[in-house]
Structure 1
Amino acid sequence: MVSKGVKYMLLSTFIFAVMNVLIKYVPNIPAIEIILFRSIVSFLMSGIALKSQKVPLFGNNKKILLFRGLAGALALMMFFTTLQEIPLASAVTLMFLGPIFTAILGMWIVKEKVAWVQWLFFGLSFAGILMIKGFDPRVSPEMTLLGVGAAFFSGIAYNMIRKLKTSEHPLVIIFYFPLVTLPIVGIYSAFHWVWPVGIEWVVLLAIGVLTQLAQYFMTKSYQSEELSKVANLNFIGIIYALGFGYVLFEETFNLLTYLGMTLVMVGVVLNVVYKQRKQKVV
């Protein structure tokens, strides 16, 4: 039987995939400005939800919450930039290094063990990611570094969520994301503002709402399961990225891409099955 944590992550992954598509639909709006709109919507929705549930806005572990917010903000700024500058599947592929950083950093941050066989599964998925990305001339070294940087900071953010699992309400953790992000992107946007036109307003609003939903389910997932069990499920997003990229943006890749996709999926399935069997034995 599939656990709640796994279900939450699968739902979060799909919603994030739709959000990524919408970001590419507004190429004229700077990535930082998109994050500003996204953060405003998230800030309002989180604040209203917290007030309605009578949950204190600022939580208990403020230092960890702030650190989670900062790491998430840095990851988001880097990732949104790559989404606008390189093919959808390539940007998402680089971001999928996040679970590897999550697992590695988790050994120190949350003292969570990862079995040696799971590293083989991670390695298999990572090899698939490299094959999917390949040697795409549309991806510059600068964008590659930004993509890897986004994955690294997302790994830190996910571990902070895990560290807060017993002391903070999921909405408080989400609330700190825009709380930290708004001042940073607000200052930048004030000097590089581009007014949205027509349907772009609707797209920006949708990005904010979808992000809120995806963040909520992702947070619930990381609070419900061990990092090593659900982190790999993010890789499923590569299927969405390849499909959406091809259908909506006419982004094509060679045959090795599909072989890489298969390796990623095999690594994901093996990791989940291993964790489920291990729990049954215990």
Structure 2
Amino acid sequence: MNINKNKSIILMLVSSFTFSSMQIIVKLLPNIPLIEKVFFRNLISILVAFYILRKNNLSFFGLQENRKYLFYRFIFGFAGIILFFYATTQMLTADAAMLNKLSPIFVTVLAHFFLKERINKIQITSLIISLIGASLVIKPEFNSAVLPAIAGLLSAVVSGAAYIFITSIGKKENVYTIVFFFSFFSALSCLPFFYFEFIIPNIYELSLLLLLGLLAAIGQVALTCAYNNCQASEISIYDYSNIVFSFILAYIFLSEIPDILSTIGGTLIISASFILFLYNKRN
């Protein structure tokens, strides 16, 4: 295994751990409105991206021809964060993480429609296994109790759409331009909602909110650096360590333990992703 791959694997694990920790913080702030958490989630990322872009004299909002895709990436990514945070606050942390990690599967489906990429039997099989796993995590009861799980599933769908637009941009824009554009407009979109609901946090809550933003920024930078140092097909599977970290941290800090159906469902989701990982790596 080469040095770059070792480095990228470590960065992927760091990213997964920080995003899992971010979930725990979201749940440890029950009195803070959802949209306020989303705002602070983007705040530190704005400052980090702004500093790097200004230091290197790079564009904050990208080239004119790419702004349409940057805007679509913001819309779907912003919706994904709101849905994911809502699911996290309303259901078991590990269950929300499992559903969110369906996004690579939906990327395959969406790429077929938007990028005209073919779907083969291996990818269809992975999709079916993932959906079976998701149904075990969701355990549909056809009442309002299932809404958070549906939100978690939708977060994976819209996140998959956001990744499609990132793929469309490719290397036409600097990574930090993409991060700044997304974080800036996400934070800006939160401000009108503060008129209807805003809670001034105490010192403890403010500390956790700032830590939430810091973890989000570290996770995003680590993830970006990981993919810059190694091919996605070589390291993408390590992103699923997020589910394991979420399980462990939720048990330690929240005393949460997923039931047997969720555990089986999560195993199926990871297995389907591993099949897809092996296929992508081979091809």
Scaled by the length of structure 2, the TM-score of the pair is 0.85
**Residue 179 (str. 1) matches residue 184 (str. 2):** yes
**Residue 109 (str. 1) matches residue 114 (str. 2):** yes
* CA distance in 2: counterparts of 1:169 and 1:141, whole angstroms: 40
Letter in 2 for 1:90: D
C-alpha deviation, 1:34, in angstroms: 1.0
* CA distance in 2: counterparts of 1:18 and 1:104, whole angstroms: 29
> Which residue number corresponds to residue 46 of structure 1?
49
Can you list the C-alpha shifts for 1:218-237, whole angstroms capped at 9, x where unaligned?
445667646x8766654432
Q: 2:60 aligns with which of 35, 57, 60?
A: 57
Q: Note if contact 1:122-1:232 (Cα within 8 Å) is conserved in structure 2.
A: no
Q: Which moved more, 1:237-246 or 1:168-177?
A: 237-246
Q: Which moved more, 1:122-131 or 1:228-237?
A: 228-237
Q: Which moved more, 1:228-237 or 1:155-164?
A: 228-237
> Which residue number corresponds to residue 18 of structure 1?
21
- The alpha-carbon distance between structure 1 residues 35 and 54, as it changes in their structure 2 partners (threshold 3 A), is same
| SS of structure 2 residue aligned to 1:41 | helix
> Which residue number corresponds to residue 210 of structure 1?
215
> Which residue number corresponds to residue 91 of structure 1?
96
- The alpha-carbon distance between structure 1 residues 144 and 155, as it changes in their structure 2 partners (threshold 3 A), is same
* CA distance in 2: counterparts of 1:230 and 1:158, whole angstroms: 16
**Pairing of 1:21-170 with structure 2 (within 5 A):** 21-60=24-63, 61-134=66-139, 140-170=145-175
Q: Note if contact 2:8-2:227 (Cα within 8 Å) is conserved in structure 1.
A: no
C-alpha deviation, 1:242, in angstroms: 2.1
**Residue 237 (str. 1) matches residue 242 (str. 2):** yes
Q: Note if contact 1:158-1:222 (Cα within 8 Å) is conserved in structure 2.
A: no
C-alpha deviation, 1:18, in angstroms: 1.2
- The alpha-carbon distance between structure 1 residues 259 and 90, as it changes in their structure 2 partners (threshold 3 A), is closer
Scaled by the length of structure 1, the TM-score of the pair is 0.85
* CA distance in 1: counterparts of 2:12 and 2:129, whole angstroms: 20
**Residue 267 (str. 1) matches residue 267 (str. 2):** no
Q: Note if contact 1:239-1:261 (Cα within 8 Å) is conserved in structure 2.
A: no
Letter in 2 for 1:34: K
Q: Note if contact 2:16-2:245 (Cα within 8 Å) is conserved in structure 1.
A: no
* CA distance in 1: counterparts of 2:226 and 2:138, whole angstroms: 27
Work out the number of aligned pairs and report it: 277
| SS of structure 2 residue aligned to 1:29 | coil
5+ residue gaps, structure 1 = none
Could you tell me the percent identity over the aligned residues? 26
5+ residue gaps, structure 2 = none
Letter in 2 for 1:176: F
> Which residue number corresponds to residue 282 of structure 2?
277
C-alpha deviation, 1:255, in angstroms: 2.8
- The alpha-carbon distance between structure 1 residues 258 and 150, as it changes in their structure 2 partners (threshold 3 A), is closer
Letter in 1 for 2:32: I
Q: Note if contact 2:62-2:173 (Cα within 8 Å) is conserved in structure 1.
A: yes
* CA distance in 1: counterparts of 2:256 and 2:140, whole angstroms: 15
Can you list the C-alpha shifts for 1:26-60, whole angstroms capped at 9, x where unaligned?
11111100111222222122111111122111112
Q: Note if contact 1:132-1:261 (Cα within 8 Å) is conserved in structure 2.
A: yes
C-alpha deviation, 1:72, in angstroms: 0.9
C-alpha deviation, 1:165, in angstroms: 1.8
Can you list the C-alpha shifts for 1:215-261, whole angstroms capped at 9, x where unaligned?
234445667646x8766654432222222222221222333333333
Q: Note if contact 2:102-2:130 (Cα within 8 Å) is conserved in structure 1.
A: no
